[in-house]
Amino acid sequence: MSSLLSLGMRAMFANQAALQTIGQNIANANTPGYSRQSVVLATADGQYSGAGFFGRGVNVETVMRSHNEFLTKEAASSKSVAYMDQTRSEQLSQLEKIFPTGEAGIGYATSQFLNAMVDVISRPSDLSARQVVLGRAEELAARFSSAGQQLTSLQAGVVSDLKANVGVVNQLSKQIAAANSQIARANGSGHTPNDLLDKRDELISQLGQYIQVSTLKADDGTVGVFIGGGQRLVLGAQAQELAVTQDPYDGSRATLSITEASGNRTLDPSVLTGGSITALLQYQNDDLQNARNQLGQMATALASRVNEQQALGLDLSDPPGKGAPMFAFGAPRSLPASTNERDASGNFLSRVQVTINDASQLQASAYKLQSDPSGTPGVYQLTRLSDGLTRTVYDGDSVDGFKVDFIGAAPGVSDSFIIEPVAQGALEMKRVLDQPSGIAAASPLTGSTAVSNTGTATIDSLRAANGRLDTSLAPMTVAFGDPDPADPAQLQYTVTLADGTVLDGIWKAGQAIGNQPNASPAIDLGFELTLNGTPRKGDTVTLEATKFSATNNGNAKAFLSIQDETIIGRRLLADGSITGGATVTGAYATAMSEIGARVQGANYLAEVSTTVASDAEATRAGQAGVNIDEEAARLMQFQQGYQAAAKVLQVAQSLFDELLKLAA
């Protein structure tokens, strides 16, 4: 009877264990990260008797979870990439709004400002027409400044998001370490703590949403968690904390560091993969910086060109004077590394002064300046960060439209600087000319054709071309002579200056006179005279210093041509020639296109990676997840087994009672 009772009891316990496990599965069918559990049953060893081996029932070996380590890691990894792509897509969508199209864009505001000069050309002395120009200038500067401020706000938002994400990562790391400790203690029992293992896997999966990790299992059941190509984050029951620290060059930007006994150690962003933190760092270091430099390049080049044209003309003051600057813009910055050498007071021993000498050659990039690897004193290496171009420079050299001068001691061997020629250009742009009379619409020279001329030539425009114009050489006379022997369509001419100097040149239709530095012979008098019609031999044009600026519009006409000039991003070649360059509207269109392409690319990647992550999770859940229908069928199966086992006990009990009656 005892054998039969034992069989019944074992069977009931086994079926009860199975029912309890099935109930656990059903209860956690919708719990994230839960792995389906099942009871492992094994037949008990038989008992030998003279009649053979009789069974002793069933044993409950353990409770096992349905888990595939490869699929779990694959799902966590793909989720990490998906979160990275989604975060970057969201951030770029915000950046795209700073570069609006149509009438809300900077390109449109630039055209409106320059086109406002048309009324000044028609009525040079009309203060209301000049006031419209100042109003358009104010609007243009405000749009640049607003865009710069929005970029600053986006940068502050990135830092805030990084701090919030890092805080979550540190909490998850501590929870993983605590789970490791619990698992290690339970590991000696010979059975796996399934719920703790699921909890740890889910924590690692959540951690991957912020930064992609790799894991390594130890013999004691704990898991080491690593980031950044092998940097330890969790090892056993110990977790290291991440921290958001200031960029060593720019305090408004952030870097990711890991806290160690010796202090915070900055992690290289290039080795970080996956997760929202990686996306935020990439967005900060690449997308935001590129947008800030592009915007600053446009603002600096345009403001410099307008101010330059202002300085070449005459305003309505009495007596007329050179035009004052119309715009102010952010100055170039030189940012020393926080580790650079300092004096006893904590001040940097060496500083770098950056001066713009040709705004049209400024590139949309920052630069890194450091000692030359050869160690030669006085030799430095300048790297353009946008494309990695590295050049050797010396104190006082000019590169890409700006000049570098060392202030104080020469930079030390370990010193380095980040140079930002244009990054602040848009942020600090504003209109500084307040008086309408200050607009320099008049040319310093006034031209007239002789009444005795027999040709059809009339003056189309006369303006200062550069700062080399010397009005003390006026009056000047331009006299046309015989056709050029090499080309009868061209005419020879002479320019006679007030000091008696005579210059010879060749004129052809559409060609300006007075500013031909590349002609042979060269004429570089600092002004440009263009004609309508065709002069004949003996015709003359007289150029005199302007006395009445209220009736002269020569410089106002020059403003109109700015929108067609390629004043942004020119490049100086080794042979001294200038190549490339874009107009303001062209540069803005390029910036919009680049941002748009980045947004489209990020959206596509986010869509693809989200699909991949969803498929990976579905594959993992297909093996480890709970199927309610399947569990319901198993519930009925083991319920029947439990009832049958109970029947065995009932029969055994009846037989035992009968034996007791017979014994009595």
DSSP state of 285: I
Q: Which two tokens stand for residue 60?
A: 């409950």
What pLDDT does 152 receive?
A: 95
- The pLDDT value recorded for residue 661 is 80
Amino acid at 658: E
Q: Is the pLDDT of residue 646 over 80?
A: yes
Count of residues making up the chain: 664
Q: How confident is the model at residue 1 (pLDDT cuts 50, 70, 90)?
A: low
Distance (Å, whole) CA 196 – CA 222: 11
Instruction: Please give the DSSP secondary-structure letter assigned to residue 402.
Output: E
Helix (H) or strand (E) holding 439, with range, is none
- pLDDT at residue number 664: 64
Q: What percent of the chain has pLDDT over 90?
A: 63
* 524-569 confidence digits (pLDDT tens): 888 999 999 999 999 999 999 998 888 899 999 999 889 889 999 9
Domain spanning 444-545: which CATH class is it, in words?
mainly beta
Q: Above 90 in pLDDT, residue 318?
A: no
pLDDT at 190 over 80: no
Residue among 450, 616, 572, 591 nearest 73 (CA): 616
Closest CA to 571 of 420, 404, 418, 364: 364
The CATH 2.60.40 portion of the chain extends over 444-545
DSSP 517: T
Query: Of 423, 261, 266, 425, which is closest to residue 337 (Cα–Cα)?
Result: 266
Angle at 50 between CA 46 and CA 54, to 5 degrees: 25
Which one has a higher pLDDT value, 104 or 653? 104
* pLDDT single digits (tens) 466-520: 888 888 888 999 999 999 888 888 899 999 999 999 998 888 888 889 888 777 7
Question: How does the average pLDDT of the chain come out, rounded?
Answer: 91
Residue linked to tokens 């813009």 = 329
Over the stretch 121-153, which tens digit does the pLDDT of each residue have?
999 999 999 999 999 999 999 999 999 999 999
pLDDT in tens, 603-630: 999 999 999 999 999 998 888 889 899 9
Tokens encoding 493: 């001419």
- Is residue 390 over pLDDT 90? yes
Q: Alpha helices, DSSP H only, in 283-428?
A: 289-312
What is the Cα–Cα distance from 524 to 651, expressed in whole angstroms? 122
Higher pLDDT, 313 or 190: 313
Tokens 């065709």 appear where? 534
Question: How does residue 587 score in pLDDT terms, banded at 50, 70 and 90?
Answer: very high
**CB–CB of 617/83 below 8 Å?**
no
Pull the structure tokens for residue 613.
């992550």
CA–CA separation, 150 and 291 (whole Å): 11
* Torsion region of 469: left, alpha or beta (phi above 0 gives left; psi -120 to 50 gives alpha): beta
pLDDT tops 90 at residue 573 = no
Quick one: which of 211, 160, 134, 660 has its CA closest to 430?
134
Q: What is the residue type of 533?
A: G
pLDDT of residue 548: 87
- Beta strand 513-516 with 350-356 is unpaired
Instruction: List, for residues 33-85, the tens digit of each pLDDT value.
Output: 888 999 998 888 877 777 777 878 888 888 989 888 899 999 999 999 999 99
List the single range of 21-30, 157-166, 572-581 with lowest mean pLDDT: 572-581
What percentage of the chain carries pLDDT values higher than 70?
A: 99
pLDDT of 358 reads 93
Q: What span, in angstroms and rounded, lies between the C-alpha atoms of 299 and 425?
A: 6
- Sequence-distant (6+) residues with CB within 8 A of 580 are 566, 569, 570, 571
